[in-house]
Structure 1
Amino acid sequence: MKNTSAYDSLHTDRYKSVVQRRDLQTLYTEASQASKQGVLQGLGPLEHVFTLFLEHEQRLDPLSTDELLALFDRCSDPEKSAYELRDVLHQLAPGNGRIGHQQVSILTNHLRQRVATFLRQNHYPFQQLLPHDHVFGSGGDFCKTIHASTAAAILAAPFIKICKTGTTNVTSYHGSAQAMLEFGYATRTLSVTQLNSELEQFGFAFLPLSALGFPYSQALKEARGMLWDEAREQLVSRCAIGAPDWQATMQNTAIPMDIFKIVSPNAQVLHPQHHTTGVCHAHMLPYVLSLYLHLNSQGFIVYSYDGIDEFATASSNLDPHNHNNLLIWVRANDIVITECSPEDLGFPRAPLSAIAEEEDLSATNDELKQIITGHMRGAKRDFLVANAALLLVAAEYAPVAHTDPIEQIRMAARLIEAKIDSGQAGENFYHLLEAHNHR
């Protein structure tokens, strides 16, 4: 049963601040340390991670652009083994002494150009794609939660247009490309006409990144899995996942970062109007935020303190006063930074096990179908609804004229729930599948 009085009954002492985009940009320039210190003090929960980031940037001995691009392109070499590519990933890991935010921007530009060339050579007129929004988690939840970004996009589609991109699994049991295929949504050809038709009629379309010319091979997947295993081992050697000290361990343990979890989700090659993403580790945030500024993006960046790359309605800390999520709302002129708990949105807090991913893809999709069609309630539905609500607010589909982003998300969640309970969310999705498969 949803706890609708939680928002009013709890103390609302969660952190919230508003930073001007131009001020935050100072942290990525050669401005004086005094100027940067003034900005840092306004970042609240981000101050610690940005302090570490700036210390790294000061010590940076960057790779040359030629070295950088050669390493990145090596990830597409079919002759390289997974072990060789794991070493390449270590060399490309942000925070390793050689890769800073400028290198991340260079690689993003390089990937965007590669995809643009691929689309042009294959005569795909993606500049004709309808205006749309985009959501893509970084993947790699250390708690292995149910895949949320695609389901959230499906639930938001009756309200806004979302062209979702995704991949097969790298560090989870399965990825969005596999989930969509299991649903019956098979991408046979890249047709802008078909994508536009689906966006216009149903508000949703899907494309795997592999169909857009992204670097993606079995060896690279295995190498990225090895890197994630290393990161996970560093964490679990200090604390069991979900134990009382788990959030503190996540905050205080540095891990090797996967460049593809930063660049690929945020390259935004189809030029969405708004882009929402998540990260599974706080140290990724300065680099992802730098890309929002670099590409002049708007939307949300989400981080759950339990190491989940979505807004989590479950937590290792069951105290309702524990704000277990960090939201960064990047707007046209400013950036809102706020903490948030499930209770703030009117949801009861669940244990992490309640939103765990199923290893069996068909079982996972059965649950998603039950949620989308309104036949299943509980923690997993709350999890998906909360993340769908973020997409509505990111798209400026404002259910209420309210200055508090949490109140906007809370009201958006009620709109999503009403659409599910009326049967319209399920009807929209199944009509989409029917139309897609009869073309």
Structure 2
Amino acid sequence: MGSSIQLPAYGHRLQVRLQKGDLYRLFTSLEDAKHEEAILRQLGPLRETFASFLGHERELDPPDNAALARYFDACSDPEQGSQELLEILRLLSPGNGHIGRNQVNFLADHLRTRVEHFLQSKQQDLSLLHTHDHVFGSGGDFCKTIHASTAAAIVAAPLVKICKTGTTNVTSYHGSAQAMETFGYRHPHLSIPTLNQELDSNGFTFIPLSALNFPYSQALKEAREALWHEAMKQLTQRCNVGDPNWQETLRTTPLTLDIFKIVSPNAQVLRPAHHSTGVCSLAMLPYVLSLYLHLESEGIIVHCYDGIDELSNASSVSDPQQPINLLIQVTRDEVIFEECSPEDIGLTRAQLADIREEVDLAATQSDIWHILSGEEQGPRRDFIVANAALLLVANQGIIPPQDNLHIQLREAIARINAVIDSHQVADNFTQLLNAHQQQYTQQQKQL
């Protein structure tokens, strides 16, 4: 299907395949200048991002692991105030001279252990969870966009089993956990058999991170929101969102990174077969990629140069030859870097305002239903469809492999549009919600 489509001239795009071992050596052999230069040369427009990361790694003065664990666990302490937690977030910010790749990896392992112990205390055996793929947007878009990762997982569910995890809002108007509750989907308690039943019957299940004992107190939420507003102030002092210099401003403005945008989405505590995530800042990328290598993960990382942690069809840049998205696919042996534009994957380039998040949660729910049912055409549907297609490509077993990721995405987009227009998506999600509501009612009677 994809090969029959006339592709636009691909132009000067980053397209490079690196062996995992070579990339791991880049991260760990910090004194091997010859190898470093060879890899950085291949990374083209990402050279500066990775060179800066490696420079930070060489100059690290890290705390010991016991102190790291104390700082991280303090974020779960209900006695901590938002101002105290804001200072802890600064201490735990990757690239601050103290927190680097090894510290990020340690905190991911620490969180995985915490969740495993928590589930054991609830008599839930994680090893019994059925094989699934996972998606989690890191959040914190610098252009507030509609919820793509949750809707994309629902749309892709007829084709691939997806476990979606999410939270209440931190910097968006509302989070995926709130959106799912508005749909009538909620778990009074975590049940691996219930999750398996939903995965097997409908290809989709959702777990709020609160059900996994993640650190998400109101005070921590306020502290993280304050950190995001500081970043936005730094950016908008130099350039307004969406102005012609917006992408360059995002690339060149040093920001304090939120450790919870890196560790929490990518610790992959439920051990998925494939993991898809996004980063809203390029500076986050080396740390997230290091987690994929550390955890031996497979999947996709995506970044839109307009500061969006999703695959975007909208941009501040109107030139159709200009790539706006960065895709990184991590396979068993390789890491593939590729840039693409909306036109490369068969979509019409839109404006950022066309995919803006709704303030009203009920309006968001209505918009998503119109997309799921096939009633809506246009930029918002394209945005959701593109990110659902990304999940098919990340799975590596649904779309035939091609030399280029953008060709695979074209075929995946056609598959996704077909399942929407055939009403499979709406029927599947309606069936899931009905079954879930019956299960929820029964559980409530037993409590």
Same fold (TM over 0.5): yes
Is this contact kept in 1: 2:10–2:344, CA < 8 A? no
2:178 paired residue number: 178
2:33 paired residue number: 33
TM-score by length of 1: 0.97
Q: Percent identity?
A: 54
Alignment partners' CA distance in 2, 1:25 and 1:401: 24
Would the alpha carbon gap of residues 35 and 109 (structure 1) be closer, same or farther in structure 2, given more than 3 Å must change? Answer: same
1:155 paired residue number: 155
Is this contact kept in 2: 1:7–1:346, CA < 8 A? no
Shift of 1:402: 2.2
Is this contact kept in 1: 2:8–2:344, CA < 8 A? no
Is this contact kept in 1: 2:8–2:343, CA < 8 A? no
CA-based RMSD: 1.3
Shift of 1:9: 3.5
1:22 paired residue number: 21
The one-letter code sitting in structure 2 at the alignment partner of 1:347 is L
Q: Which runs of 4+ in 1 moved over 2 A?
A: 4-13, 397-403
Alignment partners' CA distance in 2, 1:381 and 1:76: 37
Alignment partners' CA distance in 1, 2:6 and 2:324: 15
Q: 5+ residue gaps in structure 1?
A: none
Shift of 1:401: 4.3
Shift of 1:39: 1.5
Shift of 1:234: 0.7
1:42 paired residue number: 42
Would the alpha carbon gap of residues 306 and 6 (structure 1) be closer, same or farther in structure 2, given more than 3 Å must change? Answer: farther
* Superposed CA offset, 1:66-100 (max 9, x none): 22111111111111110110011000000111100
Is this contact kept in 2: 1:7–1:345, CA < 8 A? no
Tell me the matched-pair count.
Answer: 436
2:12 paired residue number: 13
1:66 paired residue number: 66
The 3-state SS of whatever aligns with 1:136 is strand
Alignment partners' CA distance in 1, 2:22 and 2:253: 28
Is this contact kept in 2: 1:108–1:267, CA < 8 A? yes
Alignment partners' CA distance in 1, 2:89 and 2:353: 31
Is this contact kept in 1: 2:14–2:43, CA < 8 A? no
Deviates more, 1:4-13 or 1:297-306: 4-13
Shift of 1:404: 1.8
Is this contact kept in 2: 1:279–1:285, CA < 8 A? yes
1:350 paired residue number: 350
Alignment partners' CA distance in 2, 1:288 and 1:105: 9
Would the alpha carbon gap of residues 110 and 249 (structure 1) be closer, same or farther in structure 2, given more than 3 Å must change? Answer: same
Shift of 1:8: 2.4
Alignment partners' CA distance in 1, 2:151 and 2:47: 32
2:57 paired residue number: 57
Alignment partners' CA distance in 2, 1:76 and 1:397: 38
1:208 paired residue number: 208
* Superposed CA offset, 1:362-399 (max 9, x none): 10110000000000111000000000001001111333
Shift of 1:5: 11
Q: 5+ residue gaps in structure 2?
A: 440-447
Shift of 1:58: 1.0
Alignment partners' CA distance in 1, 2:201 and 2:179: 22
Alignment partners' CA distance in 1, 2:414 and 2:44: 29
Instruction: Say whether residues 1:235 and 2:235 are aligned partners.
Output: yes
Shift of 1:353: 0.1
The 3-state SS of whatever aligns with 1:350 is coil
Alignment partners' CA distance in 1, 2:325 and 2:4: 20
Alignment partners' CA distance in 2, 1:149 and 1:96: 29
The 3-state SS of whatever aligns with 2:300 is strand
The 3-state SS of whatever aligns with 2:83 is helix
The 3-state SS of whatever aligns with 2:97 is coil
Is this contact kept in 2: 1:165–1:206, CA < 8 A? yes
2:442 paired residue number: none
Would the alpha carbon gap of residues 48 and 154 (structure 1) be closer, same or farther in structure 2, given more than 3 Å must change? Answer: same
1:191-270 aligned within 5 A: 191-270=191-270
Shift of 1:145: 0.4
The 3-state SS of whatever aligns with 2:354 is helix
TM-score by length of 2: 0.96
2:443 paired residue number: none
The one-letter code sitting in structure 1 at the alignment partner of 2:145 is T
Would the alpha carbon gap of residues 227 and 7 (structure 1) be closer, same or farther in structure 2, given more than 3 Å must change? Answer: farther
1:120 paired residue number: 120
Shift of 1:6: 9.2
Alignment partners' CA distance in 1, 2:25 and 2:217: 38
The one-letter code sitting in structure 2 at the alignment partner of 1:86 is L
Alignment partners' CA distance in 1, 2:187 and 2:345: 36
Shift of 1:44: 2.0
Shift of 1:190: 1.1
The 3-state SS of whatever aligns with 1:220 is helix
